[in-house]
Structure 1
Amino acid sequence: MQLIDIGVNLTHPSFAEYRQALLERAYAAGVQRLILTGTSLAESQNALDLCQQLDANSEHLFSTAGIHPHDASSWNSDSYNELTALLKDPRVRAVGECGLDFNRDFSPRAQQEKVLEQQLAIAVELQLPVLLHERDADERLLAIVRDFRDQLSAAVVHCFTGEKRALFNYLDMDLHIGITGWICDERRGSHLHPLVKEIPRTRLMLESDAPYLLPRSLRPKPKNGRNEPAFLTEVLREVALHRGESEADVAAHTSATAMAFFNLPV
């Protein structure tokens, strides 16, 4: 059984001392491909460097390059060209993580929107898929993406945690949906249980968002409290349960979808 983790923050400093061991645990658990998330120009370069350092002679690790809405204020006159150059590396398979976060508002909303539009324009230019971040901003995100959708190759709403209205609007725009350990959280994620079965097989992908979103249903839990890609099997278990499908079936179709979305080598 093969799994693909479409969102891993492997550049996070908490992983610095044991990245190789973390990858070995992931591979042993069946997570054979990992997409390392870029969240700023510097972190996108770091993610690419990790792919080249830790996976030089294989094809397990790929990355994204983009500017997270939290970092939208860092965008300057050089950012477009610098990001475009990063995205031309063959290990980099998507634009992002980019989008809108009206929950924390670490960058002004107008700046978030401008930077999202710039990154969508790059995705159109390079014909790369997009990894989208959204918090409390689904209607505005949809309005912006709609203007680019016909020219975009594909886009996934990373770490979907929203309600039915947002999900159906995303699906109506032919977007993909990424599900994390949020679905394993009985305090705040149970609304996803009936929704996850509404996602078409060709639109669903799985992600850990490690080191964040440790599945609360995981037993035993790691003493350090950090999530890692090996625990994606717990997300798989929960998704399969609420879709009424076998774990092997969900693993197969989410992996096939991720392979196609990120144009990964067979």
Structure 2
Amino acid sequence: MKKINADKIVWLILLILSIFLVLFPIYIMFKYSISDRRSWITGGEYPVPWWPFKPTLEMYKYYLGDKRFWSNGWLSLKIALLTVSFSLILGTPAAYSLARFKFNGKAFLLFLILAIRFYPDISSVIPVSYIFNKSFLYNLPNEIKISLAHCLLSLPYIIFIAQGVFETIPVDLEEQALILGTSRFYAFLRIVLPIAAPGLAAGAIYSFLLSWNEFVFSYFITATSVSSEVPLPVYLKTLLGSFSPNLVSISTLSLLVSIPVIIFTFIVQKYMIAGMIKGAVK
């Protein structure tokens, strides 16, 4: 019993430490985002308090009342959702083919797909931005151009994750459907894909996060655009370059930009949890 209690205490301490490491930076950002001037500019007369003397929401009111923030945020959301959609539409069939069909050079092909991520983003941003800004693709909306560029970054991971998911699904399910007279496409669409959906949710979350935070491609593609709307990372860069923001401004922007990512993760996470529960029952 002493050993069991000691183990529980150790796990409890590790759990509390993990929660602290996750929540403490969020607390610091939130504290500064609602701080009044005296709470973060002390002049060395007194230490920075753990909680503002007079909490205020003025900085939230400022940014939430800024039309540029809303329009640029909506553009970033569209880009991220389009990136997820394009990546899954293109990557899921490719991953299914790699998982189900045997052909010479399959391992080398998968290596080439993953090798795309071996190169830094800056090495490919010039040819990609040149294609979108100097060819017939120039007239495409910015959200389409940027999301297609982001697919270059997310597709290798989507294919790698989805292939592992499809390999865990028994082939017998498809074979039984084929014996009953269905086509392979119907079996993939109605049988395999619903089972693989929880696993694909992990790829969707990664693709969304990558697109939401990506700056280099977004910056170069929108550099020659006539539209004033830019993704949030580019918008934040323009703010940081135009003046020296204080801790309150940076913290407020950081929290506001993080909210859509948190919401999307919680929405998709339930499918991942459902998939793990189904796997445990089976």
TM-score exceeds 0.5 = no
> Which structure is higher in helix share?
2
Higher CA-based Rg = 2
- Report the TM-score, using the length of structure 1 for normalisation: 0.25
- Report the TM-score, using the length of structure 2 for normalisation: 0.24
> Which structure is higher in strand share?
1
